[in-house]
Amino acid sequence: MSKIKAMDFYRKIPRDLTEATHFGALVSICAALLMILLFGMELNDYLSVRTESSIIVDRSVDGDLLRINFNLSFPALSCEFASVDVSDAMGNHRVNLTKTVRKYPLDKNGRIVGDVVRDLPEPKYEELLHDIQETHIEKKPEEVKIMDTLDAATFPEAIKKYPILMVNFYAPWCPWSRRLAPVWESAAQVMLRKFPPEDGRIKLAKVDCTVEGLLCRGHHIQGFPSIRVFRSGVDMLDHGHHHDHESYVGDRTVEAIVEFAEKLIPAAAASGVKALPMADAEAAAQTMKVGAPGCSVEGFVLVKKVPGNLHISAHSQKHSFNNGVMNMTHVVHHLSFGKEISRNKWAMVQRLHPDGLLNAWSNRLKGRVFFSTEANITHEHYTQVVMTSVEPRTFGIVEVGYNRVDLYEYTHHSHAIKTDEMPMTKFSFDPSPMQVLVKEKPRHFYHFITTVCAIIGGVFTVAGIADSTVFHTAKLFKKVELGKQY
């Protein structure tokens, strides 16, 4: 035991051999306060977040997809023809995406005025020549007018006169309009035989949009041919010049058109009745509300991480368009890249990377309006996309990268160009091959303990040296004073 006792580094001095002083007490209090202060500062530093940022080559693997989120408003593009298309540098091209895209009709003030516009199949056309129309019906006397060609003056009168008016808006230069012309005339003949003029419940007519351009634009005709269904007393008369009518989107055959028209007519005569109800659910399924001139397009698409384009334009395989009247003015409510993250993950990102990943950069086009000041204008937006990955510490419980959050920012440049082709709105995206990696860098606990020991030992030692120096200096002065007295 005596040998073990000899290894004591902290030999004790009897209390009777020590001396307490007022200055020593003051130094001890100051040293204790300094230790507490330095300990608190070191603890705060130990608990604070430390990150390490670096720029590395994009870690994405082949097959990873980039999500593009968008919410756009087109005041002059009908939802009937609005199409979202995607193409990329690898040759992939997808047309009229509908699975993750929603379209809502907009009024002239930019407000949503209806339910989501459903995607409909392209109508089938019947091959019918003018010289075989008589196979569908018996010929009518020459004095009976089969088809009315309406103009700006006779159109309102026809709406008031007939409870149901079906109008074919066409353009003579359009091949689909020429293909529909004999079918439409034959259907009109069939309906004229079944419902003669004195019946007065339904009428089939047509409008030449190359002659009546203002009338067609007033009814938001953007593709040819377009078949509209008007109901007496609804269009413009009760809605303050708001065009509330349907577009027939069924097959372009005599049988289909006649069957649809018959289902529109109630069982009893209802001449003059406003807003006739749809007499058959199947007929209702063959129409689309087109009273609103604009369209809100929102949703997301998944693309490969290679340069590509997102287009929004008018598209149809069974219609023709007049490029000169297509107006691609649009408002960008939202455009961002990547998946939306939860509030907890966003709070983590703000904690680890507070000076980066600002909403102003992740959604730079928010609220921007782009006008088409003349005809045949295409709007192009070029974006360069940079990914930032934020990795919190995992404490070794889960694999590295499990809690990683990938966020995207982008730069933006826009311009409008005049084109001879179909006007469109195009977003070009170019993912960067580099990415920013932000990793939480933890401080080891043994560093904290080492620093705390250094603080305590250092302050104690320095305070002891100061106290000893003052004590012995004061004692020396006392001896000098006593020597002078003797």
Beta bridge partners of 381: 414, 427
Structure tokens at 27: 């130094």
Query: Residues with Cβ < 8 Å from 44, sequence gap 6 or more?
Result: none
Number of H helices, E strands in the chain: 10, 20
Set 79, 174, 209, 216: catalytic member? 174
Q: List strand residue ranges (DSSP E) for 107-210, in order.
A: 148-149, 164-170, 202-208
Active site residue 30: no
List of residues 6+ apart from 19 with CB closer than 8 A = none
User: Are 193 and 204 contacting, i.e. CB atoms less than 8 angstroms apart?
Assistant: no
How close are the terminal C-alpha atoms of the chain, in Å? 52
Structure tokens at 413: 């440049």
Q: Are 305 and 65 in contact (CB under 8 A)?
A: yes
Q: Nearest Cα to 267, choosing from 254, 277, 281?
A: 277
Q: HEC states along 203-268?
A: EEEEEECCCCHHHHHHCCCCEECEEEEEECCCCCCCCCCCCCCEEECCCECHHHHHHHHHHHCCCC
CA–CA separation, 433 and 92 (whole Å): 20
What is the strand order of the sheet 330-337 is part of? 101-106, 294-304, 65-74, 330-337, 368-370
How wide is the angle at C-alpha 214 spanned by C-alphas 211 and 215, nearest 5°?
85
CA 295-299-304 angle, 5° bins: 125
Catalytic residues, which ones?
A: 174
